[in-house]
């Protein structure tokens, strides 16, 4: 039975091989026929010049390159390949250049032709497949485990035999290699399967399984050795390791894997097989990890594991280095290099046994790595040098971290790591090894963060903080100083790493200085003063201060230090002490910076104005904090005083026209003065507005301060503005323009708003419209036209409307038990209306303002937009104050007045609106007043209204022509 099966299976295999052979020959014959046909139809197609078509060139080259990889072809192959190449080229031309329906038809005909020619072979293969299927089912059902084992082994060996038989033929050489690999796989997995599956388990001794495994492995290694191709050899090694993953995780298996991997590495050493080396090591690492996971305890296997990993890893590295020094495949070598190092490190790391002196092997490895790096540098292999240097740095870091095992404190380890990184980054920077320096600087940052974090628990003990931070700052500052002495490559682009690294050191210096600041200030009374003194001392280092990067970082830190001082102003209990300890030192520092011209970055760039703004802000905060506890009014008084002084200082500085520096300072002083005024306004809105604190019987404190602020605002506005016309353009700082245009101009608006608030908060509502109208008249009067801004007219218009709204809505419902005249809206209302009419008349005579869009709209119909709101407000005022027929009568009087004004001003619209209002009044008189009023009142009102209407009629008739 078994023999029959064996014969049947062999026949099947031979049938399959014969079929494929037939197919291959058939294809070649078809190609040759096609070629001859093309030759007959297009005699020139085989000689298509390459220059005529890129498509042809590319396709042909591609095939030729593919052919080059093979061994020297035979003459028949050359003919065949040429034919195929030409045919392919022709097809490409047809496909890419002339796509048409003929191509589809041709393909269809080719398919039909193939079927008619190969129908027998196709049928044969189908029957063959059926036969193999039947045979497999049969074997699985009836054969014994040993027979099955033999069959599978036979298949494997048969593959090998076939491979050896066809190996000599160049055409079949590739298939031969694959069959050989298949043979190895079948044999190896068969022997493993004998131990795993009962269907193949034919022996009783456990050792048999092990022997079989070794045989299988040996068989594979032999095949790997015999493989002509790297990929196939590699495949044998990988298959062997995968097979070992499947078997029980015994120590002997681990050793077997080591042997297999070493064999694989040995193959790489024999040839230039980097891929094989890498894959073998990766496969071993994977195996090692799986094997490790299968162990119940680490300690018993640690020695084996470490030894095995070491042997394999070092072997791999040795081979790799040997290849790296020879090969030019930079990218792949780099990848392999990093991968091998990482995997080796990972494998060694798995055996964490708490070895106290781990830093010793790690330190040795670091030295070895750095030595290799220098060797690579000498051999001018740049990538290897960089890579090994980085690996060396990593190992050094690991060695440092491992010091924790001998009870080094965390902050000390972080400090050592910081120094190592700084040293590495600086050396690399000085050697212009930018990549290495970048890596080093990244480690500097990481270790600095680690140091910062480890210091946090030490905050209560300021001495420790200072002891740790001081060497850090000194080392950073010294490095920075050293770097500043090296000339900067002017060709290096701004913002590149060459400029970045020193700035990074500056930033770190000031971050750690911040830690010291916090510690000293928190625990020493004069800490802040000493700290500021140290900062002043740093200014003396002109070498360093001449570099803008350092300068800007220093200035930013100075700002931070100043801001920090704001948080401590009230920490001493006494505001005056707070002012002395924390307010004055930053000002002194600022003065030193100004004197030493630290804020001038270059000939054209100066940020001294920023310094002035910041100093102004500091002063504001300091004085606010110092005076606030005594009275909320002090900050406002101080703001006004400081603003006044600064403004005067600005004017004095502006008189010195020969220095751009002084011009800039003058402009910034003026802006700060205006900012102080705005600060007062903020305090006014939030605090002083709520106070009625009496100063004199006729004046409150708030009113006095507001009056002063208002006066200062207008005084500033009318002060002579800084003129740059008569100055040399080179003497003008860039920022002077906007400084000048904004700050002084808005003082008018500030004064205007303050005057309105003063009016509203001081007087009762009936007075408000009178005040609005008076201010509005001043703003639009002809005498003020030359010295007020054009927007003053717009404000005047707004005030006109505010007057109208106030009279129409607020004053009309006013009620007061007081007998004072100004509390009676019967007096203030009409008075406001008279003033509003005056204002509207003045606005009417204003020349048209083309600067302002809103005023342009107003001046399209100035009579309508100016007078009508006043009349509407008056009508509403009358409506709320009077009732019934009396109201109608008063309205008609108003209409009479409107008509008169309308004719006087020749405004047809105004007259039309007045007449429409008259119609409404008549309707109201008839429908409402008739029923509501007494007979006498009714008669009186009707008479008066009638007379008024007659007057209106007369006016209308007499002056009708004025409107046309």
Partner 1 sequence: MKRGIFVTVVLAILGFTSYFVAIHQVQTPQGFSLETFYRYLGQPVKTLDRSITRVIGVNAQDERELGDYLSSNIENLQVSGMIEQKVYVNNIIDQLSKQYNPKNLHFRVFIMSGPANAFALPGGIIVITTGMLDLLKSEAQLVAVLSHEKGHIDLGHCIDYMRVQAKTYRSQFGAFFDWYLNMMLRHSFSKFQENEADRFGFESLLALKYDPSSMAEAFTLMSNHYQQNQQKMPHLIGDYLSTHPSLILRAENWDEKAKRWKMQHPQIPYYVGVENYQIKKARSEYGYDFTKEWHKSNNK
Would you say 301 or 620 has its CB closer to partner 1? 620
Q: Which among 63-71, 198-206, 425-433, 798-806 is the span making contact with partner 1, rule CB under 8 A?
A: 798-806
For 26, the enclosing helix (H) or strand (E) is helix 2-41
Among 341, 510, 512, 633, binds partner 1 (CB under 8 A): 633
104: tokens are 């589809």
Q: What is the C-alpha separation between 296 and 292, in angstroms, rounded?
A: 9
CA–CA gap between residue 422 and residue 480 (Å, rounded): 11
From 149-157, 340-348, 709-717, 735-743, give the range in contact with partner 1 by CB under 8 A.
Answer: 709-717
Verify binding: residue 772, partner 1, rule CB under 8 A: no
Tell how far CA 900 is from the center of its chain.
70
Angle, CA of 142, 147 and 150, to the nearest 5°: 145
Contact 277, 319 (CB under 8 A): yes
Point out which span in 261-269, 389-397, 590-598, 625-633 binds partner 1 (CB under 8 A): 625-633
Quickly list H helices, 547-583.
Answer: 548-568, 575-578
Backbone torsions φ then ψ of 700, nearest 5 degrees: -95, 165
- Which phi and psi angles does 695 have, rounded to 5°? -105, -55
Q: Work out the angle at residue 181's Cα, subtended by the Cα atoms of residues 179 and 182, and round it to the nearest 5 degrees.
A: 60
> CB 99: neighbour CB atoms within 10 A?
10
Contact 522, 462 (CB under 8 A): yes
Find the helix packing angle between 548-568 and 497-523, rounded to 10°: 20
Q: Is the Cβ of residue 171 or residue 805 nearer to partner 1 in the bound state?
A: 805
Q: Does 151 bind partner 1 (CB under 8 A)?
A: no
Residue 133 or 641 having the CB closest to partner 1: 641
Residue pointed to by tokens 């000194």: 474
Whether 269 contacts 233, CB under 8 Å: no
Inter-residue contact 425 to 397 (CB < 8 Å): no
The phi, psi pair for 411, rounded to 5°, reads: -65, -30
Contact 866, 843 (CB under 8 A): yes
**Binding-residue total with partner 1 (CB under 8 A):** 55
Span interacting with partner 1, options 55-63, 461-469, 682-690, 837-845, rule CB under 8 A: 682-690
Q: 916: exposed, middle or buried (C-beta count within 10 Å: 0-12, 13-18, 19+)?
A: exposed
Among 291, 688, 871, 942, binds partner 1 (CB under 8 A): 688
Candidates 275-283, 351-359, 513-521, 816-824: pick the segment binding partner 1 (CB under 8 A). 816-824
Is position 806 an interface residue for partner 1 (rule: CB under 8 A)?
Answer: yes
Q: Near partner 1 by CB under 8 A, which window of 428-436, 457-465, 520-528, 711-719?
A: 711-719
Distance CA 160, CA 179 (A): 6
Pick from 306, 368, 600, 765: which binds partner 1 (CB under 8 A)? 765
Specify the stretch interacting with partner 1 by CB under 8 A; choose among 476-484, 559-567, 758-766, 900-908. 758-766
Q: Does 904 bind partner 1 (CB under 8 A)?
A: no
* Sole window of 153-161, 322-330, 470-478, 708-716 interacting with partner 1 (rule: CB under 8 A): 708-716
What 3-state DSSP class applies to 699? strand
937 binds partner 1 per the rule CB under 8 A: no
Question: Closest CB to partner 1 among 554 and 684?
Answer: 684
Out of 600, 644, 838, 864, name the contact with partner 1 by CB under 8 A.
644
Concatenate the DSSP letters of all residues of 497-549 into one string. Answer: HHHHHHHHHHHHHHHHHHHHHHHHHHH-TTHHHHHHHHHHHHHT-HHHHTSHH
Q: Which of 651, 731, 746, 841 binds partner 1 (CB under 8 A)?
A: 651
How far, in Å, CA of 508 to CA of 515, rounded? 11
Stretch binding partner 1 (CB under 8 A), from 235-243, 254-262, 498-506, 634-642: 634-642
In sign, the C-alpha dihedral spanning 288, 290, 295, 296 is positive
Q: Least distance to partner 1 from the beta carbon of 919, Å?
A: 20
Find the binder of partner 1 among 143, 708, 893, 949 (CB under 8 A): 708
Q: Which stretch binds partner 1 (CB under 8 A): 284-292, 397-405, 673-681, 710-718?
A: 710-718
Among residues 907, 889, 888, which one has the least CA distance to residue 898?
907
**Binding residue for partner 1 (CB under 8 A) from 98, 725, 819, 936?**
819
Q: How far is the CB of 760 from partner 1 (least distance, A)?
A: 5
- Output the smallest distance, CB 624 to partner 1, in A: 12
Residue 114 or 880: the one with the smaller Cβ distance to partner 1 is 880
Shortest distance, position 762 Cβ to partner 1, whole Å: 11
- Which positions ≥6 away from 207 have C-beta within 8 Å? none
Instruction: Assess 773 for contact with partner 1 (CB under 8 A).
Output: no
Should residue 717 be labelled a site residue for partner 1 when binding is judged by CB under 8 A?
no
Binding of partner 1 by 648 (CB under 8 A) = yes
Tell which positions 854-893 bind partner 1, by CB under 8 A: 880, 883
Question: How many Å apart are CA 69 and CA 231, to the nearest integer?
Answer: 15
How far is the C-alpha of 915 from the C-alpha of 896, rounded, in Å?
9
Looking at beta carbons only, is 482 or 821 nearer to partner 1?
Answer: 821
DSSP tag of 606: B
Residue 26 or residue 761: which is nearer to partner 1 going by CB? 761
Q: Tell me which of 114, 374, 634, 956 binds partner 1, using CB under 8 A.
A: 634
Shortest Cβ 882–partner 1 spacing (Å): 11
Q: Does 691 bind partner 1 (CB under 8 A)?
A: yes
**Number of Cβ atoms within 10 Å of the Cβ of 865:** 18
Token output for 894: 């108003």
705 lies in the binding site for partner 1 (CB under 8 A):
yes
827 binds partner 1 (CB under 8 A): no
Q: Using CB under 8 A, which of 813, 853, 861, 958 touches partner 1?
A: 813
In terms of Cα–Cα distance, which of 584, 585, 689, 583 is closest to 636?
689
- The pair of structure tokens assigned to 776 is 């509005």
Of 463, 525, 690, 723, the one binding partner 1 by CB under 8 A: 690
Compute the least distance from the CB of residue 689 to partner 1, in Å.
4
CB of 787 to partner 1, least distance (A): 17
Is 631 a residue that touches partner 1 (CB under 8 A)? Answer: yes
Nearer to partner 1, 263 or 756 (CB): 756
Quote the least distance from Cβ 534 to partner 1, whole Å: 36
d(CA 786, CA 398): 79
**816 contacts partner 1 (rule: CB under 8 A):** yes
694-696 and 699-700 strand pairing: antiparallel
CB of 706 to partner 1, least distance (A): 12
Q: Which residues bind partner 1 (CB under 8 A)?
A: 630-634, 637, 640-641, 644-645, 648, 651, 685-698, 700-701, 704-705, 708, 711-712, 715, 757, 760-761, 764-765, 802, 805-806, 808-810, 813-819, 823, 880, 883
């Amino acid at each position: 039975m078994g023999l029959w099966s064996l014969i049947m299976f062999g026949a099947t295999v031979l049938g399959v091989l014969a079929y494929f052979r037939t197919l291959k020959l058939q294809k070649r014959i078809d190609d040759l026929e096609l070629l001859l046909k093309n030759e007959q139809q297009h005699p020139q197609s085989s000689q298509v010049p390459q220059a005529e078509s890129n498509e042809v060139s590319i396709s042909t080259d591609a095939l030729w390159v593919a052919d080059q990889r093979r061994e020297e072809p035979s003459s028949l192959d050359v003919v065949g390949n040429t034919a195929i190449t030409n045919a392919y080229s022709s097809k490409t031309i047809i496909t890419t250049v002339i796509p048409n329906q003929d191509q589809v038809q041709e393909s269809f005909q080719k398919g039909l032709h193939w079927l008619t020619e190969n129908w027998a072979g196709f049928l044969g293969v189908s029957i063959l497949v059926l036969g193999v299927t039947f045979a497999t089912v049969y074997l699985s059902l009836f054969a014994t485990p040993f027979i099955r084992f033999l069959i599978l082994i036979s298949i494997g060996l048969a593959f090998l035999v076939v491979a050896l038989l066809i190996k000599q033929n160049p055409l079949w050489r590739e298939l031969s290699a694959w069959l050989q690999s298949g043979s190895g796989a079948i044999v190896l997995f068969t022997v493993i399967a004998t131990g795993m599956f009962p269907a193949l388990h034919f022996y009783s001794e456990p050792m048999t399984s092990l022997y079989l495994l070794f045989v299988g492995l040996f068989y594979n290694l032999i095949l790997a050795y015999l493989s002509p191709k790297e990929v196939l050899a590699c495949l044998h090694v990988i298959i062997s390791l995968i097979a070992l993953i499947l078997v029980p995780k015994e120590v002997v298996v681990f050793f077997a894997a080591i042997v297999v991997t070493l064999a694989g590495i040995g193959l790489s050493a024999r040839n230039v097989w980097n891929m094989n080396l890498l894959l073998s090591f990766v496969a071993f690492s994977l195996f090692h990890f799986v094997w490790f996971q299968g162990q119940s305890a680490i300690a018993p296997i640690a020695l084996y594991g470490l030894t095995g990993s070491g042997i394999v890893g070092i072997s791999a590295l040795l081979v790799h280095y040997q290849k790296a020094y020879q090969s030019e495949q930079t990218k792949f070598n780099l990848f392999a290099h990093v991968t091998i190092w990482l995997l080796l490190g990972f494998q060694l790391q798995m055996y964490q046994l708490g070895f106290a002196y781990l830093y010793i092997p790690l330190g040795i490895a670091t030295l070895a790595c750095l030595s290799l790096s220098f060797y690579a540098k000498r051999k001018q292999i740049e990538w290897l040098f960089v890579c090994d240097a980085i690996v060396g740095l990593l190992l050094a870091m690991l060695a440092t971290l491992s010091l924790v095992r001998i009870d080094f404190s965390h902050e000390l380890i972080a400090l050592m790591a910081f120094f190592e990184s700084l040293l590495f980054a600086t050396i690399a920077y000085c050697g212009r090894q930018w990549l290495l320096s970048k890596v080093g600087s990244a480690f500097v940052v990481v270790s600095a963060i680690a140091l910062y974090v480890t210091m946090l628990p030490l905050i209560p003990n300021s001495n420790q903080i200072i002891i740790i931070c001081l060497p850090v700052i000194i080392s950073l500052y010294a490095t920075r100083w050293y770097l500043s002495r090296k000339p900067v490559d002017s060709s290096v682009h701004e913002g590149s790493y060459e400029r970045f690294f020193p700035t990074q050191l500056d930033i770190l210096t000031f971050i750690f200085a911040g830690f010291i600041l916090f510690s000293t200030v928190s625990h020493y009374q004069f800490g802040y003063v000493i700290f500021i003194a140290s900062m002043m001392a740093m200014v003396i280092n002109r070498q360093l201060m001449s570099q803008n990067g350092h300068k800007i970082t220093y200035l930013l830190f100075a700002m931070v230090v100043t801001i920090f001082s704001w948080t401590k102003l009230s920490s001493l209990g006494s505001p005056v002490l707070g002012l002395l300890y924390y307010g004055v030192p930053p000002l002194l520092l600022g003065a030193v910076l100004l004197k030493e011209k630290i804020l001038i970055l270059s000939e054209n760039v100066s940020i001294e104005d920023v310094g002035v703004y910041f100093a102004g802000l500091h002063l504001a905060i300091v004085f606010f904090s110092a005076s606030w506890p005594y009275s909320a009014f002090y900050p406002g008084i101080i703001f006004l005083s400081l603003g006044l002084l600064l403004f005067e200082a600005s004017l004095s500085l502006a008189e010195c026209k020969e220095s751009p520096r002084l011009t800039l300072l003058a402009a910034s002083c003026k802006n700060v003065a205006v900012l102080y005024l705005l600060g007062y306004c903020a305090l006014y809105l939030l605090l002083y507005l709520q106070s009625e604190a009496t100063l004199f019987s006729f004046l409150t404190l708030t009113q006095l301060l507001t009056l002063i602020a208002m006066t200062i605002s207008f005084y500033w506005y009318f002060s002579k503005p800084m003129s740059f016309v008569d100055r040399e353009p080179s003497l003008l700082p860039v920022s002077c323009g906007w400084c000048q245009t904004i700050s002084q101009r808005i003082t008018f608006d500030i004064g205007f708003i303050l005057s309105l608030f003063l009016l509203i908060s001081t007087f009762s509502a009936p007075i408000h419209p009178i005040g609005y109208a008076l201010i509005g008249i001043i703003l639009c009067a002809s005498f003020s036209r030359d010295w007020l801004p054009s927007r003053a007219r717009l404000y005047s218009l707004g005030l006109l409307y505010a007057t109208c709204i106030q009279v129409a809505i607020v004053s009309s419902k006013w009620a007061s038990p007081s007998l004072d005249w100004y509390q009676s809206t019967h007096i203030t209302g009409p008075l406001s209306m008279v003033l509003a009419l005056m204002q509207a008349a003045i606005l009417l005579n204003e020349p048209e303002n083309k600067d302002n869009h809103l005023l342009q709209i107003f001046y399209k119909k100035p009579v309508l937009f100016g007078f009508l709101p006043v009349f509407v407000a008056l009508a509403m005022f009358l409506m709320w104050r009077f009732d019934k027929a009396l109201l109608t009568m008063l309205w008609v009087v108003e209409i009479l007045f409107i008509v008169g004004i309308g004719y006087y001003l020749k405004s047809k619209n105004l007259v039309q609106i007045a007449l429409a209002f008259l119609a409404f009044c008549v309707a109201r008189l008839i429908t409402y007043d008739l029923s509501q009023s007494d007979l006498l009142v009714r008669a009186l009102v009707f008479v008066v209204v009638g007379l008024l209407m007659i007057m209106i009629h007369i006016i209308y008739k007499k002056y009708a022509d004025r409107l046309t």
